[in-house]
Structure 1
């Protein structure tokens, strides 16, 4: 199984409504989801959305709770994990974010809020290697990504895989975490390929 950091940005840029709904289902097919043990997959994920998507989600159902700059969805994704929508002032500009927080952890929402502001307040646009991999996973069509199954070595089973072009070998499935810098660059949108690397 793949391990994930506690709070992680999974998409660079402002997600459209279609991209937002795709990311809600980005773990479909993961063995942990099948086994109903997916809390660790969702809790801590976050990405930016537009104001209209924020407001759209607020109007779908009455929120579980609402505070000055955030609200929680009434429907839970898994166990104690639900969607939190933020409207945050970042460097003097209001921006909107979606995140999954585990509400059984009393400080998770405030930690997420602080992490978003800290990460998005950095003056230069840059991405960590993990953020690049998460963006690739979030934006790759389901037909071109999946999970290593029984045909893979036992140590790799359950890991996320993506199709990549490997020169003379053609297009092959490769574990997401094993992509080279060149393979990562080739799979990123042009506008993200040359962003400077940021230490995790």
Structure 2
């Protein structure tokens, strides 16, 4: 349960309901504490222009730069929402990300990572992005964290319910889903995207 680094957590443009739901993608995490910032820091996803503008109007921002602003309210510790209005391949697009505002370079690194990831000429999804999309789009009732019934070294790892055919519904560790299980959990339009761009 220790993600960090900058990572895309949802494929496509999140609608308003999904956006608010993804503001806390880890509500069931065990041993919640104000020090859970590493779990959120670096997560980003695309939103619509109207939702970007809506968030700008909720409260006066903590700060504004040319193509980004930070929310005044912090999620946990020094982690706060940063909203980006970027031009990628000539198209205006908007994004939300969680940055550690103790690190002044954090928003700029996220901005660069978003532009690099979204400027790829072909739609692709890495295995990690597929798993994050599954986690983001699975209802809270069907995802959670490994508890006391799991081996001690697995406790706290993310889990999802998976329909296992003749075995019925099975609780599986998210990062141990097979490629076939990942494909079954993804929406049809995302199942067959390549993992990498051919050279």
What root-mean-square deviation, in Å, do the aligned CA atoms of Structure 1 and Structure 2 show? 1.1
Q: How far is the alpha carbon of 1:5 from its aligned partner?
A: 4.3
Alignment of 1:16-31 (within 5 A): 16-31=15-30
Alignment of 1:7-86 (within 5 A): 7-32=6-31, 34-86=32-84
Q: Which residue of 1 aligns with 2:112?
A: 114
Partner residue of 2:143 out of 142, 145, 149: 145
> Post-superposition, which runs of at least 4 consecutive aligned residues in structure 1 deviate over 6 A?
none
**Structure 2 CA distance for aligned equivalents of residues 3 and 135 of structure 1:** 17
Q: How far is the alpha carbon of 1:37 from its aligned partner?
A: 2.3
Partner residue of 2:153 out of 152, 155, 165: 155
Q: Which residue of 1 aligns with 2:182?
A: 184
CA contact (8 A) 2:161 2:169 kept: yes
Partner residue of 2:89 out of 91, 98, 113: 91
Q: Which residue of 2 aligns with 1:3?
A: 2
Per the normalisation by structure 1, the TM-score is: 0.96
**Structure 2 CA distance for aligned equivalents of residues 142 and 27 of structure 1:** 9
CA contact (8 A) 1:129 1:198 kept: no
**Structure 1 CA distance for aligned equivalents of residues 93 and 50 of structure 2:** 11
Runs of 5+ unmatched residues, structure 1? none
**Structure 1 CA distance for aligned equivalents of residues 26 and 113 of structure 2:** 23
Q: Which residue of 2 aligns with 1:136?
A: 134
CA contact (8 A) 2:124 2:193 kept: yes
Q: How far is the alpha carbon of 1:29 from its aligned partner?
A: 1.1
Per the normalisation by structure 2, the TM-score is: 0.96
**Structure 2 CA distance for aligned equivalents of residues 3 and 65 of structure 1:** 28
SS at match of 1:152: coil
The size of the alignment, in residue pairs, is 197
* 1:101-153 CA distance string (max 9 Å, x none): 00111211110000000000000000000000000000000110011111111
Runs of 5+ unmatched residues, structure 2? none
Q: Which residue of 1 aligns with 2:193?
A: 195
